[in-house]
Every structure is written in C-alpha cells, then in structure tokens.
C-alpha cells in the first residue's frame, strides 16, 4: 500500500490535528486518561493467556505507552502506534528508561503500517470509541487485515452506562460494537467494569478472535 493510499484511508486531518495538539498542551502524565500502569483489559488478557505468549502484539492508540511497556516486560514482542508525535515521544522515553525493547511509531488506526496477517494480537484501550461512527467499519477492516486468522483482539471502550461528563461524547452500546465488529471477529467474552470510586470510567472489555472463516449467513 502506498503512502497516498494510506492517507486516503486514514483519519481526517482535523482528527489527527486534534490529537497532536492535545499532547502539546499538557504533559502526558496530566492527561485525564493517563494510567501509569497497564489497563485492566490488558492485564486480564495476559493473565488468562488470551494473548499468545511471546507473540507480536500491537497496542492501537498507545498514548504514553503503559500497555506497551507491560507487554514488553511480559515477554511479548510489543508494538505501539499513536496519532500524536508527543505520545510517541513519551512512550519511547519511558521504554528506554525501563529498558524495554518495543517498536513505537506514529501511526493511524485506520491505515496501519503493518503487513497483512502479521500480528498475533491487537489491544485497544480507548481508541475505538473516539472514532466517528462512520469510520468504525474501516477500523474493523484494518484490525482484521493485520491480524492472523484466529488472532486475539482485546477491546475496551467507555460504556453507555457511564453517564458522567468526562469521557468520549459517544459511548457505544454492546450492540453497536457488535454491529461494527461481529462480521469479522468472534466475541468470546464480554465483561462489564463498573469503574471505581477513584474516578475510573465504567467500561466494557471485549475478548475477540479474528474469524478464520466467513461470517455465517442468517438462517
């Protein structure tokens, strides 16, 4: 795929500019979504063996790299992509400080710079629910493309049940997420996390695998 083709498929210029500006305005550790340690979804996926040990795993929208660092320390060949150069710089600096080998690049969830079927796992803690609804099908196609058949996909998103002001404007229902992803991925497990008193947002965690065969027709 050429650079021009990726640009046409990727996020809009305004969406990219917005994320880049966010990391220019504030230090990464003062952003409201920053977590110094790994997200619950990734910890569960590693503890349960859902992500294949030692595999190639990509964190989409990696931010300052907390999940990437955890994956690298846990024996995975870790990759991270983020739209913001500031996020990538922070993630690389943290990886170097922690002596973690990881590939962290500026990149677009809608135009990933990875070959077809090259990844064993993909994790997303907070990228999917920021995308316009019209682009979520494009996102599903791209994650499906880079995962090997049967590859693992861990997706966390802010729940419809989270009604506080902080969080993305649109909080997808499970039904909406299934509508975007089910034709390309098999849902093996979905968990609801009600959040904590310290301000964590209510969220869903989906454990999915890339379909190896076409989605069955309705009968």
pLDDT 10s per residue in the chain (219 long)?
A: 444 444 346 666 666 666 566 666 656 555 556 687 899 999 999 999 999 999 999 999 999 999 999 999 999 999 999 998 989 999 999 999 999 999 999 999 999 999 999 999 999 998 998 898 889 999 999 999 999 999 999 999 999 888 888 888 888 999 999 999 999 999 999 999 998 655 678 999 999 999 999 899 888
Structural domain harbouring 186: 3-210
pTM of the model: 0.86
Residue 209 and residue 149: Cα distance in Å, rounded? 8
Residue 31 lies in a domain: yes
Residue 200 and residue 26: Cα distance in Å, rounded? 20
Q: Which tens digits make up the pLDDT trace of 79-112?
A: 999 998 989 999 999 999 999 999 999 999 999 9
Residue 217 lies in a domain: no
Assigned token pair, 108: 């677009």
Residue 219 lies in a domain: no
Residue 8 lies in a domain: yes
User: Which residues have C-beta within 8 Å of that of residue 20, sequence separation ≥ 6?
Assistant: 83, 84, 85, 86
Alpha-carbon distances of 124 from 84, 153, 154, 208, 213, rounded to whole Å: 16, 8, 6, 12, 23
Please name which of 138, 126, 133 lies closest in space to residue 184, comparing C-alpha atoms.
138
Q: What is the pLDDT of residue 96?
A: 97
Residue 216 lies in a domain: no
Summary mean pLDDT of the chain = 88
Q: CB atoms < 10 A from the CB of 61, how many?
A: 24
Residue 218 lies in a domain: no
Q: Look at the chain and report how many structural domains it folds into.
A: 1
CATH code of the domain containing 12? 3.40.50.150
Assigned token pair, 193: 């996390």
């Amino acid at each position: 795929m050429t650079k021009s083709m990726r640009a046409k498929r990727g996020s809009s210029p305004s969406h990219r500019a917005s994320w880049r500006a966010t990391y220019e305005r504030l230090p990464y550790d003062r952003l409201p979504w920053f977590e110094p340690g790994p997200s619950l979804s990734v910890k569960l996926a590693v503890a349960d063996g859902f992500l294949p040990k030692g595999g190639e795993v990509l964190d989409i929208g990696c931010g300052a790299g907390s999940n990437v660092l955890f994956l690298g320390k846990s024996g995975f060949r870790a990759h991270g992509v983020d739209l913001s150069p500031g996020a990538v710089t922070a993630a690389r600096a943290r990886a170097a400080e922690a002596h973690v080998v990881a590939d962290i690049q500026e990149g677009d969830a809608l135009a990933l710079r990875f070959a077809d079927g090259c990844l064993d796992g993909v994790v997303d803690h907070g990228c999917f629910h920021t995308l316009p609804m019209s682009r979520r099908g494009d996102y599903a196609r791209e994650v499906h493309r880079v995962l090997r058949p049967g590859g693992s996909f861990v997706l966390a998103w802010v729940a419809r049940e989270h009604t506080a002001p902080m969080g993305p404007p649109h909080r997808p229902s499970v039904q909406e997420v299934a509508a975007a992803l089910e034709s390309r991925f098999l849902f093996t497990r979905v968990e609801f996390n009600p959040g904590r008193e310290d301000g964590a947002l209510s969220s869903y965690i989906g454990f999915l695998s890339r379909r190896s065969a076409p989605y069955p027709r309705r009968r």
